[in-house]
């Protein structure tokens, strides 16, 4: 695997809480996922990011978010990026509402309070927590709107342009251009 991948995203749902993964994912528990994260972290140079789909009413438990954030901090370190993603009704789960933004913000604060430096809120275009902030001076390092980068405040060595904080961000800036990605099929 390490010879073919530069990075992976490991996607939890419901913070990997056992009752949630049994009922909605169909696995006994999330232990193999945690074990895989440890192996990738300790045995490869593959960049890892974690996402957690926060499903309202059934997968938004704050204690589970606390456990996940603490585990990530203790086992993967404070620089591990974690994204709390907004749920939207789809396919066979049309009966649940969108995840309230306030719920995502609580998960965000839990992860920050656990000591994680790179915490994000996803699937909420325009939310301030979709951007990357400098752990040194708290200024915006990478300002995003959806998948587009609007502002990039890192130098060529991935240091903050404001305070010089060295970030673990991997790779150089690749600009995205919205107009180039959405080409109309019919004029």
pLDDT at 187 over 90: no
Distances in Å between the alpha carbon of 127 and those of 73, 74, 107, 179?
24, 28, 14, 21
Q: pLDDT of 31-83, one tens digit each?
A: 999 999 999 999 999 999 999 999 999 999 999 999 999 999 999 999 999 99
pLDDT band at 102 (very low <50, low <70, confident <90, very high): very high
Predicted TM-score (pTM) of this structure: 0.90
Which DSSP state fits 176? -
Please check the confidence at residue 97 and state whether its pLDDT lies above 70.
yes
Q: What distance, in Å, lies between the first and last C-alpha atoms of the chain?
A: 43
The tokens describing 66, both together, are 């606390």
- Domain spans, the chain: 7-181
The domain defined by 7-181 folds into pyruvate-formate lyase- activating enzyme (3.80.30)
């Amino acid at each position: 695997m390490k010879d073919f991948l530069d990075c992976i995203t490991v996607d939890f749902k419901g913070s990997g809480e056992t009752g949630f993964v049994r009922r909605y994912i169909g696995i006994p528990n999330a232990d193999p996922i945690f074990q895989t994260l440890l192996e990738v972290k300790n045995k490869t140079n593959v960049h890892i990011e974690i996402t957690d789909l926060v499903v309202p009413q059934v997968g938004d438990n704050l204690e589970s978010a606390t456990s996940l954030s603490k585990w990530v901090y203790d086992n993967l370190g404070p620089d591990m990026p974690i994204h709390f993603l907004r749920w939207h009704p789809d396919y066979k789960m049309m009966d649940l509402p969108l995840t309230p933004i306030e719920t995502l913000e609580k998960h965000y604060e839990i992860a920050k309070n656990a000591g994680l430096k790179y915490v994000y809120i996803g699937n909420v275009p325009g939310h301030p927590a979709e951007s990357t902030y400098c752990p040194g001076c708290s200024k915006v390092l990478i300002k995003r709107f959806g998948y587009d980068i609007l502002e990039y405040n890192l130098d060529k060595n991935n240091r903050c342009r404001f305070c010089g904080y060295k970030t673990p961000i991997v790779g150089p800036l690749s600009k995205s251009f919205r107009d180039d990605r959405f080409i109309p099929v019919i004029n």
